[in-house]
């Protein structure tokens, strides 16, 4: 499989002094809306909404949903009242901020080289702004936004880059391929450490030498250095390891977010369409996830709270689709029910102490095991069915 390259934008592909850019952006937006909103009220609402997006772990609400639910009530208006003014801002005023940035001269040559190598490339920019803003900034960097497999923005994504679940959602939206993966960015706290917590390799873009215990010595440098490093590196060394508790939690938080996003705009026919006689429909797949969550995962996790070294059964779920007539259920309702069941799973996992992750058990299929390994099987099950969902949707006519 080709390498999956996740590229940060600001101060990686585009030189952006965020300490100057963000205040200028807020000031410009506040000025644009001043005829409708008092500037001091506007500024407070922007800060508050942004903080809530950074904190959110709600896989059922996009970051835009989180922002809007706080922003508009603080302004005392309903969503939609100033949509035209906001659209005008991003179309006409936001582009005037380009002068606060400059292209990284290494960015376009590196991206062109990476595409020539057949890499899959996503722009993993912090999704705290609209997609229009990300597209503008990519153009300022000398890049075509539409050449990338995806660009993250607040309309469609559910976590900021402070969470490892952000990286899991990006990979989910790309189909959770079994491939080498590298995250490339300049910010240790938002680009590098959360990606590494998920189990990804990460490369720190920097202009000056620095020391950090969080990275191997050869995993830092300029984009030109990275290209040279790639040319002498076995890409198989970049295959991720999703074995830690942080990786399990990040994956399981992001799974409903990924599926919610992948299926958001489907029509009724798409939920029932078969790509081949032997394949499940999307409705059958989601029903399987829902019932496995309720009846298998919850049971397995709760066994650990009831006895020492429990026996972990693994019933055969392959027959449920026909036995339970999944095909005639409503796929959207099943997805909402999966979301609710996953909330219970996450609540159980978040109450596990570090010591309890190592509690022993006996698995019906795998023999001696631990709580972490059992939870890891659940996350692996997620990745398998996210890929299945993605592949099924890829086969559907546009």
Domain tally, the chain: 2
Q: Which residues of 311-329 are buried (b: 16+ CB within 10 A; e: fewer)?
A: ebeeeeeeebbeeeebbeb
Same domain, 124 and 65: yes
Strand 360-363's sheet: what is its strand order?
311-312, 360-363, 367-370
Mean pLDDT score, 193-209: 89
pLDDT of residue 18: 85
- Of 211, 239, 267, the position where a domain reaches its end is 239
Same domain, 139 and 122: yes
pLDDT band at 258 (very low <50, low <70, confident <90, very high): very high
Structural domain boundaries enclosing 292: 245-395
Among 135-149, 250-264, 316-330, name the one with the lowest average pLDDT.
316-330
pLDDT band at 342 (very low <50, low <70, confident <90, very high): very high
The predicted-structure confidence for 265-299, as pLDDT tens digits, reads as follows: 899 999 999 877 778 999 999 999 999 999 999 99
- Of 239, 258, 290, the position where a domain reaches its end is 239
The answer to whether 46 and 71 have CB atoms below 8 angstroms apart is yes
Same domain, 360 and 228: no
Same domain, 262 and 221: no
- Of 186, 215, 239, the position where a domain reaches its end is 239
Mean pLDDT score, 28-56: 92
Kindly report the CATH number assigned to the domain that includes residue 263. 1.20.120.450
Same domain, 204 and 289: no
Same domain, 79 and 51: yes
pLDDT band at 213 (very low <50, low <70, confident <90, very high): low
* d(C-alpha 169, C-alpha 176), whole Å: 9
* d(C-alpha 198, C-alpha 166), whole Å: 10
pLDDT of residue 308: 83
Same domain, 116 and 185: yes
Mean pLDDT score, 171-189: 95
* d(C-alpha 292, C-alpha 140), whole Å: 46
Nearest to 101 by CA among 125, 85, 84, 82: 125
0.85 exceeded by pTM: yes
Same domain, 261 and 226: no
* d(C-alpha 335, C-alpha 342), whole Å: 10
The phi, psi pair for 222, rounded to 5°, reads -85, 175
Same domain, 315 and 285: yes
Same domain, 78 and 213: yes
pLDDT of residue 395: 86
């Amino acid at each position: 499989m080709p390498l999956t390259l996740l590229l940060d934008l600001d101060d990686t592909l585009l030189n952006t002094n965020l300490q100057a850019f963000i205040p200028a952006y807020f000031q410009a937006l506040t000025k644009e809306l001043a005829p409708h909103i008092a500037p001091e009220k506007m500024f407070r609402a922007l800060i508050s909404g942004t903080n809530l997006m950074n904190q959110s772990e709600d896989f059922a609400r996009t970051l835009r949903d989180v922002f809007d639910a706080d922003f508009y009530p603080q302004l005392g208006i309903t969503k939609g009242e100033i949509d035209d003014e906001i659209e005008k801002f991003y179309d006409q005023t936001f582009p005037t901020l380009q002068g606060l940035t400059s292209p990284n001269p290494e960015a376009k040559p590196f991206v062109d080289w990476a595409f020539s190598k057949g890499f899959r490339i996503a722009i993993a920019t912090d999704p705290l702004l609209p997609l229009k803003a990300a597209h503008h900034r990519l153009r300022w960097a000398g890049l075509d936004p539409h050449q990338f497999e995806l660009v993250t923005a607040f309309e469609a994504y559910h976590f900021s880059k402070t969470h490892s679940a952000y990286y899991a959602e990006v990979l989910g939206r790309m189909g959770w391929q079994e491939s080498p993966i590298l995250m490339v960015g300049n910010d240790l706290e938002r680009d590098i450490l959360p990606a590494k917590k998920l189990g990804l390799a990460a490369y720190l873009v920097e202009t000056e030498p620095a020391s950090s215990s969080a990275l191997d010595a050869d995993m830092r440098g300029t984009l030109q250095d990275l290209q040279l490093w790639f040319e002498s590196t076995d890409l198989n060394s970049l295959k991720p390891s999703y074995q830690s508790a942080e990786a399990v939690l990040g994956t399981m938080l992001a799974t409903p977010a990924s599926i919610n996003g992948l299926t958001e705009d489907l029509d009724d026919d798409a939920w029932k369409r078969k790509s081949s006689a032997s394949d499940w429909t999307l409705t059958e797949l989601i029903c399987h996830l829902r019932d496995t969550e309720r009846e298998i995962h919850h049971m397995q996790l709760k066994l650990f709270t009831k006895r020492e070294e429990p026996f972990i059964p693994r019933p055969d779920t392959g027959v449920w689709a026909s036995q339970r007539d999944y095909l005639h259920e409503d796929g959207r309702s099943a997805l909402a029910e999966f979301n609710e069941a996953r909330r219970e799973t996450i609540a159980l996992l978040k109450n596990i102490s570090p010591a309890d992750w190592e509690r022993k058990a006996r698995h019906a299929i795998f023999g001696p095991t631990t709580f972490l390994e059992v939870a890891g099987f659940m996350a692996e099950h997620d990745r398998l069915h996210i890929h299945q969902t993605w592949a099924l949707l890829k086969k559907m006519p546009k």
